[in-house]
Structure 1
Amino acid sequence: MSKFTPAQLIARYEACRTSRRTIEGVWNDITRLVFPYKGDMFNDYPDEQSIDWRENRDVFDSTAVFAAARLSASIHGLITNPFLRWFEASFRDSKLNEVAGAREWLEEVSEVIYQTLQDSNLNTEGGEMYQDLVGYGTSVLVEEDTAIDGDYDDWEGVKFQCIPIREAFFESDYEGGVAAFYRRNEWTAVQIMSKFMSEDVPETIREQAESAESVGNRHDVILCVYVENLEPGQEVPDVSRVMPADRRPIQWRYILQSDKTVLGTGGYYEMPAFAPRWRKMSGSQWGWSPAMIALPDIKTVNAMAEQGLAAGEKAIDPAIFIPEMDIFSDLDFTAGAVNVVRSTENIIAAPSGSDFQQEVARIDRLRISIMEAFHSNELELKESPAMTATEAMIREDKMQRLLGPTAGRINTDVWGPVINRTFMILTRAGKIAQPPAGLENAELDIAFLGPLSRAQSSDKIAAIDRVVEGALMLAETVPDNLDLIDFDEATRERARLLAAPATIINDEDKVEQLRETRAKAQEEAKQAAQMQQGSEMIKNVGGPEGVEQLTSQMQQAQGQGQGPQQ
């Protein structure tokens, strides 16, 4: 028995919807001027004919449209580049990473998770998520397991969906994460029938699905995802194992809002919805974005551009002043027209009074301000295609300082939880190999390796290089200075910061074995060389008498080399 009735869930959804009315006004302005084809916040679409495909009629200057697209695409490439593995797994206790077989297992786990994400639609839906973050400051990404009723025999991986912000509502937990998630779906009767069992659908919906007149009518179907409390004495479920849907800790229901009919029920092992924010607004669960910062300038530049069009129209086709007695009829300004007038001397054009140079200068200043809000200057390359190494380092440093805090929040809010959920899904599907003995209960950590994360590690890499280079230079005059440097640890740390594959670095046991083998080979080679040298000397002096003479000479040489005793 669920702790919530359908009416209670709908009431909670309505409360979430009502609480954000203020920020929806800001979102609607951003939709009109930055994302003109994402749909109006306040207009419902009862059918396809109600959707207005001329939503860009309010955009008179597209600076913000292009700047937002550029920033979202850049963030996508800097954090979760589709062509690079942007994370790796490791044990929280760093000593466990050196256990035999641990690094190979971690590398395998990282690769399995990465390939699962690559085989899904994460790259396309992740791009939509970044657009929402740049524009609205908040986005909602949902990860679904394609297994049906826990059957992983024909498992097809995971799939993602970036929920349009106008349809997504959530309750926050004490850490700012998602405690409950609601989605408003506007579905036709045909869509409802294709989604749910016929016996669970009301008779009115079944009739509309068969009627040509009402087949396009849409109905509000609310998806409610919430945490189900444990009953007294009930143990916390083991989410690493497959279990019936009604026993899972996260429950979901599809409810027809009009009559509170439950159309479908089920359960999740983990909360499938993630709500990243660009930056957090104090006192609110919603985030703010570059588009919100630039919104006053965006409104102003669009208003000025619209006024400029009107002023330009007056300048190109000005009003005409004509004395009343100088014309016989209304003037015709069409091509090839013939007008009968008494005289053309008194026909003058009305002055527009517009200062187009000042207008262009003001618009340019506003455009620069908008592009700065979206970090366009830092994202664009200089006019020359050539970029020196120093310029590239400066650019990376700027990106690190500007986008580093945002990247950290996005990784914490969405990508860390996504990787953890994917790992658990793969575990239940039997796609994760057993860890090495003794590490079954070890805690895992996720390190992010995207270009921006690597740029943030560049300072540490440079520091290691400078220390090692300085020690090698001092060793020319002070050889003992090298004793300060642990070259093994320096190499391991540098490889970790560069996100080098763990399999290319030998563990401590392997390194010790290689060094022992090398030392043994060197000792054997030294002994062989000494024996060869002795044989040559014996051959040169000839016979036993020569050996005795050579031995006597060597003893005398050793005695002379020792010098007088003090």
Structure 2
Amino acid sequence: MSMQVEDILGRHKRLKDARRTWESHWQELAEVMLPRRADFTTQQMPGQRRQEHIYDGTPMLARRGLASAIDGLLKPKTAKWFKIKAQDEDLAEDEEVKRWLEGAEERLYRAIYNRRARFIQRSGEVDDDLVTFGTGALFIGEAKDLDRLLFKSFHLRDVILVENADGEIDTVYISMKLTARQAASKWGEAALGDAVKEALSSKESEKQFPFLWCVAPRKDRDRGRRDSENMPFASIVIDVTAEKEIEKSGFHEFPFAVPRWDTTSGEVYGRSPGMIALPDANTLQQMGKTLLVAGHKAVDPPLLVGDDSVFGTPKTFPGGITTFDMQAARDLGRIPIEPLQTGSNLPLGREMQNDTRDQIWAAFFRNVLQLPVDAPRMTATEVLERKEEFIRTIGPVFGRLESDYLAAVVERSFMILLRAGAFPEPPEALRGREIQFDYASPVEQARKQIEAAGAARSVELMGPFVQADPSIMDNFDGDAIARDTPDIFGMPSKWIRPEAAVAELREARQQAQQVEALPEEARAGADVVQKLAQAAGAGQT
């Protein structure tokens, strides 16, 4: 075993041991919110039922609702949620540059949502982990045939994260279990350890073996070389059984998006809305069980039977006949069988149950995500106030996710496509210049619409002053407002004419107005001059 392999395996074991507390916490969360992931501390068979102890599905529904909201608010498939712009403001207004960047956006969008890239499926799994456990891990890479992007998600149970000095995740360990056949197909039989090779040769190719994949910054590399072993991030795969390195390569960029819902100083893993809801979720399961028993008792109550007053056991099944002693009935003054009154209060139990459900929904932001920000019969001021409340509550969380989640996906995907030659040659003005990515999610759109509404309210407020002095409107740059409209309302920028075309249109309109203002004789002469000029121009061509 090489020193490097020994170091990787040893460090992974120490990190794994250090996070046992997290795993027990995640197990408890998964059992009531995400049962298919409930195997952090217990081993479950594929296909095994995992909801035997669930008496109320509210925690799972609340988790699903917030995960769906993340997908719809951060990365909706029905809308472009990112834009590529030149970092230099003057360059960003260049029409040729803008057209190239818009074309690059379109190609990048299609590549991310390529059916075979599986972004929708894998990012959805990460969203579930994020709202339940507070941390997710998404790999952004290339398919084996190098003709498309490839996204992979991983069970948090198998992922170990390490921060650098700046608090950024820069090292990931991933435990994998592959069959001997899968390992041979992925890395080649010659690279594998003896135990895996033996399984292949003895017809046990479906036997599983553990492997460890480590991605970390490469400390020693030749920056002048561009091969896989000198890239900024090292990638090493180890056959754990044989303690043998079976693959060594690298990445140009850190290949993982590791979103964390909320972080605490000194903690690597994030905290989630699920953790806030966990006490109520556990209480709700106990309430559900108790009310289920109470409901059974109310519908099919236990019986009170007088001693020696009934012959045999009471027949409580449908159509059953129970024989009782008539003398005992006369002595008691009633039939000697009656339901036992337990004094249960089902309405109170249901009220407490609903209160607990509301607490869980609130932890998963349902009260915010379902704000009727555009409900009918609302004034413009009410709509604006609702949107502002929405942004104040959910904005900070989604801002972090844009930075740690969307940015990693888009920037890594763009660089992969750029190196693969998936974009046409950029304009000369753009070569060697910096670009930036802006995220046009519905949350960001709401922010911009609040700004636009603020501008409209300012103009409305100044209405009386403008009537007295129309020159006040000279303070507003109408062209700037018009050109910001596509960003504010998600309109394609190609619907806006280039500035040069607008200038030509205005000049032509001004000339036409000047001709209209001339006397009739002068106007006829101007028309003749214009026609002669057009004819001269045609003769030159």
TM, length-normalised to structure 1: 0.83
Q: Distance in 2 between matches of 1:5 and 1:201?
A: 17
* Cα separation, partners in 2 of 1:336 and 1:14, compared to 1, 3 Å: same
- Which of 270, 274, 280 pairs up with 1:291? 274
1:429 aligns with 2:420: yes
Q: What's the offset of the Cα at 1:283?
A: 2.2
- Which of 112, 115, 121 pairs up with 1:117? 112
* Cα separation, partners in 2 of 1:434 and 1:335, compared to 1, 3 Å: same
Match of 2:4 in 1: 5
1:97 aligns with 2:92: yes
In structure 1, the gaps of 5 or more residues are 149-154, 238-242, 536-566
User: RMSD value over aligned CA atoms?
Assistant: 2.9
Match of 1:235 in 2: 223
Match of 2:227 in 1: 244
Q: Distance in 1 between matches of 2:500 and 2:14?
A: 60
Q: What's the offset of the Cα at 1:508?
A: 4.2
Please identify, of 277-286 and 300-309, the stretch whose mean Cα deviation from structure 2 is larger. 277-286
Q: What's the offset of the Cα at 1:280?
A: 1.4
Q: Distance in 2 between matches of 1:252 and 1:444?
A: 28
Q: Distance in 2 between matches of 1:332 and 1:489?
A: 85
Match of 1:25 in 2: 24
Q: Distance in 2 between matches of 1:527 and 1:230?
A: 79
Q: Distance in 2 between matches of 1:463 and 1:35?
A: 42
Q: Secondary structure at the match of 2:160?
A: strand
- Which of 332, 338, 352 pairs up with 2:342? 352
Match of 2:532 in 1: none
1:124-523 correspondence to structure 2 within 5 Å: 124-146=121-143, 148=145, 155-209=146-200, 217-231=207-221, 234-235=222-223, 243-342=226-325, 343=328, 345-380=335-370, 388=378, 390=380, 393=384, 395-468=386-459, 474-523=465-514
Question: Do the aligned partners of 1:208 and 1:215 also contact (CA within 8 Å) in 2?
Answer: yes
* Cα separation, partners in 2 of 1:60 and 1:394, compared to 1, 3 Å: farther
- The structure whose Rg is larger is 1
1:44-55 correspondence to structure 2 within 5 Å: 44=43, 50-51=45-46, 53-55=48-50
1:62-73 correspondence to structure 2 within 5 Å: 62-73=57-68
Matched to 1:20, the amino acid is R
Identity %: 25
Q: Secondary structure at the match of 2:437?
A: strand
Question: Do the aligned partners of 2:515 and 2:523 also contact (CA within 8 Å) in 1?
Answer: no
Q: Distance in 1 between matches of 2:491 and 2:316?
A: 74
Q: Distance in 2 between matches of 1:493 and 1:271?
A: 34
* Cα separation, partners in 2 of 1:7 and 1:510, compared to 1, 3 Å: same
Q: What's the offset of the Cα at 1:172?
A: 1.4
Question: Do the aligned partners of 1:71 and 1:134 also contact (CA within 8 Å) in 2?
Answer: yes
Q: What's the offset of the Cα at 1:351?
A: 3.1
Q: What's the offset of the Cα at 1:465?
A: 2.8
* Cα separation, partners in 2 of 1:398 and 1:128, compared to 1, 3 Å: farther
Q: What's the offset of the Cα at 1:102?
A: 1.9
Q: What's the offset of the Cα at 1:338?
A: 4.7
Question: Do the aligned partners of 2:172 and 2:214 also contact (CA within 8 Å) in 1?
Answer: yes
Q: Secondary structure at the match of 1:55?
A: coil
List per-residue Cα deviations over 1:439-468 (Å, max 9, x = no partner): 323221111112111001112111333445
Matched to 1:462, the amino acid is A
List per-residue Cα deviations over 1:376-430 (Å, max 9, x = no partner): 2333477x99675756655543432222111111110021122111111111111
TM, length-normalised to structure 2: 0.86
Q: What's the offset of the Cα at 1:524?
A: 4.8
Q: Distance in 2 between matches of 1:442 and 1:218?
A: 49
* Cα separation, partners in 2 of 1:32 and 1:176, compared to 1, 3 Å: same
Q: Distance in 1 between matches of 2:336 and 2:306?
A: 7
* Cα separation, partners in 2 of 1:319 and 1:531, compared to 1, 3 Å: closer
Question: Do the aligned partners of 2:161 and 2:268 also contact (CA within 8 Å) in 1?
Answer: no
Please identify, of 321-330 and 20-29, the stretch whose mean Cα deviation from structure 2 is larger. 321-330
Q: Distance in 1 between matches of 2:375 and 2:512?
A: 53
Please identify, of 295-304 and 347-356, the stretch whose mean Cα deviation from structure 2 is larger. 347-356
Q: Distance in 1 between matches of 2:249 and 2:345?
A: 65
1:80 aligns with 2:79: no
Q: What's the offset of the Cα at 1:22?
A: 1.3
Question: Do the aligned partners of 2:97 and 2:429 also contact (CA within 8 Å) in 1?
Answer: no
In structure 2, the gaps of 5 or more residues are 330-334, 527-541
Alignment coverage as a number of residue pairs? 514
Q: What's the offset of the Cα at 1:296?
A: 0.7
Matched to 1:16, the amino acid is L
Q: Distance in 2 between matches of 1:133 and 1:54?
A: 23
List per-residue Cα deviations over 1:304-329 (Å, max 9, x = no partner): 11122223333344444434433454
Please identify, of 507-516 and 69-78, the stretch whose mean Cα deviation from structure 2 is larger. 507-516
Match of 1:151 in 2: none
Matched to 2:365, the amino acid is H
Q: Secondary structure at the match of 1:56?
A: coil
Question: Do the aligned partners of 1:196 and 1:263 also contact (CA within 8 Å) in 2?
Answer: yes
Matched to 1:30, the amino acid is L
Q: Distance in 2 between matches of 1:275 and 1:215?
A: 33
Q: Secondary structure at the match of 2:308?
A: helix
Matched to 2:405, the amino acid is V
Q: Distance in 2 between matches of 1:306 and 1:462?
A: 50
Q: Secondary structure at the match of 2:52?
A: helix
Please identify, of 390-399 and 97-106, the stretch whose mean Cα deviation from structure 2 is larger. 390-399
Q: Secondary structure at the match of 2:283?
A: helix
List per-residue Cα deviations over 1:82-117 (Å, max 9, x = no partner): 110111111222222123522112212222211211
Q: Distance in 1 between matches of 2:443 and 2:142?
A: 29
Question: Do the aligned partners of 2:193 and 2:239 also contact (CA within 8 Å) in 1?
Answer: no
Q: Distance in 2 between matches of 1:431 and 1:515?
A: 39
* Cα separation, partners in 2 of 1:207 and 1:386, compared to 1, 3 Å: farther
Match of 1:43 in 2: 42
Matched to 1:31, the amino acid is A
Match of 1:558 in 2: none
* Cα separation, partners in 2 of 1:203 and 1:370, compared to 1, 3 Å: same
Matched to 2:141, the amino acid is E
Q: Secondary structure at the match of 1:325?
A: coil
Matched to 1:235, the amino acid is R
Q: Distance in 2 between matches of 1:334 and 1:190?
A: 57
Question: Do the aligned partners of 1:321 and 1:350 also contact (CA within 8 Å) in 2?
Answer: yes
Q: Distance in 2 between matches of 1:311 and 1:192?
A: 54
